[in-house]
Structure 1
Amino acid sequence: MYLQLTGTQIRLLGSMHLFPATSRRTPPWVAEAYDWADALIFESDPATILPFLKADAPPRAAQLQPLMSADAWTQLRTLWPAEGPLAPLDDLRPWAALICAPTLLQQVVEGVEPRMLRSANAEAKPYRYLETAPAVAAALASIPLDALAAALALLMTDHSEPQRTLELMHAAWLEGDLHAVQRIAAESPMFNLPGIRQAVLDVRNRARAARLESLLDTAERTLVVVGALHLCGPGNLIECLARPVEPVY
């Protein structure tokens, strides 16, 4: 979960973007990784992605309705907030509906990145991002509509799944158990349908590896913070880099 790229000044940290509200603990190796680093690299800036959630023209989330049962679509619309940045549902891009829906069923607090960003800003520790918002949106837009609809329909059959999965993943993450994190995620509708993992993880891992290649000769101690799922399973970031790593923790 916390790895050194052998022969470089780059370390990789697998993070949790959100923590369960009932389990807010951060493991000590996260603080140690932050203290070690002279500079930080995060995967993307969530604030810049917000404008991409809504579509000025089709495709919009309403196109998912014919691909879902009437009951599943009704449940989704009932779940959706009537006000705020995610409203209305019909104006969202289809992929945004899937990315946002689980969070409406979770009780969470902020995870690793917001905490590190606050510290970095307070201490003037430099940081940057691996991905631009347009690149993230383009990757997620490649998820087929039928896969999005199927995942949302599964989600509507078990409203407790997102919270349950988050709590199990957080517990495995605290132990630094990447294999367990991968096994738990594989049972979630977000990742067990064709096309979703490829867009959410695989495509982005390849792009990130290409960007990191240009940084491998840096003399600055650099911590790369990515979601833990990007470090496990087939096509993970470590595989894409094709370089040896050593566990720090």
Structure 2
Amino acid sequence: MYLQLTGTPVRLLGSMHLFPATSRRTPPWVTDAYDWADTLIFESDPATILPFLKAGAPPRAGQLQPLMSADAWTQLHMLWPAEGPLAPLEDLRPWAALIVAPMLLQQVVEGVEPRMLRSAIAQAKPYRYLETAQEVVAALESIPLDALAAALAMLVADRGEPQRTLEQMHTAWLAGDLQAVQRIAAGSPMFNLPGIRQAILDVRNRAWATRLEDLAATSGRTLVVVGALHLCGPGNLIECLARPVEPML
């Protein structure tokens, strides 16, 4: 969960982007990692991705309706806010519906990255991002419509799953147990359907590995903060880097 690329001043931290509202604790190794680093590198800037939830011409989320049962589509529609930036459902890009839907069923507080970013800004600690919003969107656009529809149908069929999965993953993450994090995630519609894991994790891992190779020769202590799921399972970031790592926990 907290690893050093052997022989380099680069460390990887597996984070959780959101914490359960009932368990807000940040483990000490996260604080240690932040204090060690001269420079922080995060995945991407969420604020720059938000405009893409609706941006551009169709296709829209309404394309998912024919691929879902009438009941599943109705349940999804009932879940959606009637007003605000996420409304109406039909105006969102299909992948945006999948990204947003679990959060509508969760009670959460901010996770690692917002806390680190706030501290970095206050302390003038340099930070940057591994990818642009356009690159994130390109990966998400590759998810097949039928996989999105299937995942959303599973989601509305078990509305307690997003919160349950988040709480279980957070417990495993606090313990630094990557295998348990992977096992728990494998039961979630967000990651157990073909095409979804590939777009959200695998494609991005390969792109990041290429960019992180350039960091190996850097002279400054650099902490790369990515979601914990990027560090476990087949095709994970560590495998893509093909470099020895040393656990810091």
The corresponding residue for 2:43 is 43
The corresponding residue for 1:232 is 232
The TM-score with structure 1 as length reference comes to 0.99
CA drift of 1:55 comes to: 3.8
Aligned pairs for 1:1-249 (under 5 A) are 1-249=1-249
The answer to whether the Cα contact below 8 Å between 1:89 and 1:97 also exists between their aligned partners in 2 is: yes
What is the RMSD of the two structures over their aligned residues, measured on CA atoms? 0.6
CA drift of 1:101 comes to: 0.4
One-letter code aligned to 2:235 = G
One-letter code aligned to 1:84 = G
1:122-162 deviation per Cα after TM superposition (whole angstroms, max 9, x unaligned): 00000000010000000000000000000000001000000
1:56-76 deviation per Cα after TM superposition (whole angstroms, max 9, x unaligned): 322110000000000100111
The answer to whether the Cα contact below 8 Å between 1:55 and 1:91 also exists between their aligned partners in 2 is: no
1:84-126 deviation per Cα after TM superposition (whole angstroms, max 9, x unaligned): 2211111100000001100000000000000000000000000
CA drift of 1:190 comes to: 0.5
Runs (4+) of structure 1 exceeding 2 A deviation are none
One-letter code aligned to 1:162 = P
1:42-65 deviation per Cα after TM superposition (whole angstroms, max 9, x unaligned): 000000000111143221100000
Distance 2:85 2:240 in 1: 35
1:3-34 deviation per Cα after TM superposition (whole angstroms, max 9, x unaligned): 00000000000000000000001100000000
| Structure 1 residues without counterparts, runs of 5 or longer | none
Identity %: 85
| Structure 2 residues without counterparts, runs of 5 or longer | none
The TM-score with structure 2 as length reference comes to 0.99
How many positions carry a matched residue from both structures? 249
Distance 2:104 2:10 in 1: 35
Alignment partner of 1:223: what SS? strand
One-letter code aligned to 1:224 = V
Alignment partner of 2:86: what SS? coil
Distance 2:40 2:83 in 1: 35
Question: Does 84-93 or 36-45 show the bigger shift?
Answer: 84-93
